Homo-oligomer: A and B are copies of this chain.
């Protein structure tokens, strides 16, 4: 319960690696996978998600790889989470397509509103932490 997915862990690790890289070449999925013993395919997907969210720019082909688009202090952990996870809500009824009215409990469960506040505070924790802070 309340656990981050492996995908998000790998996303944090990959983002951190990209932020620290100043070796001249673009960082690759292979490099990150080997460096931290993460399954290659999973890092690859994470990096593709980063590209879609415009956190990084990708370069295809030989000598290709990824580079960060913004400086690490301008990227928050919530940006990274949103790039790789659709659902990071504390309850089902806060996920898209759900609402008070889809609640299966009689007259809703009565704790939805306070939990929305909890959700807001937890998101805030990740919002307030920048990539720079985890280097």
Contacts and interface: CB of A to CB of B under 8 A. Distances in A.
A89 B110 CA distance: 26
Interface stretch (A7-15, A23-31, A48-56, A64-72): A7-15
Contacts of A16: 110-111
B129 A13 contact: no
Contacts of A12: 111, 115
Contacts of A115: 4, 12
Given A13-B109, A111-B9, A88 B118 contact: no
Interface residues of A, number: 40
A105 B3 contact: no
Nearest to A84: B1
A73 interface: no
Contact of A129 (B85, B109, B114): B114
A61 to B, nearest CB: 28
Interface of A: 1-5, 8-9, 12-13, 16, 35-38, 77, 81, 85, 87-92, 104-106, 109-111, 114-115, 117-118, 121-122, 125-126, 129, 133-134
Given A36-B109, A36-B110, 16 more contacts: A2-B2, A2-B88, A3-B90, A3-B92, A9-B109, A9-B111, A13-B109, A13-B110, A13-B111, A16-B111, A36-B105, A37-B104, A38-B105, A77-B118, A114-B133, A114-B134
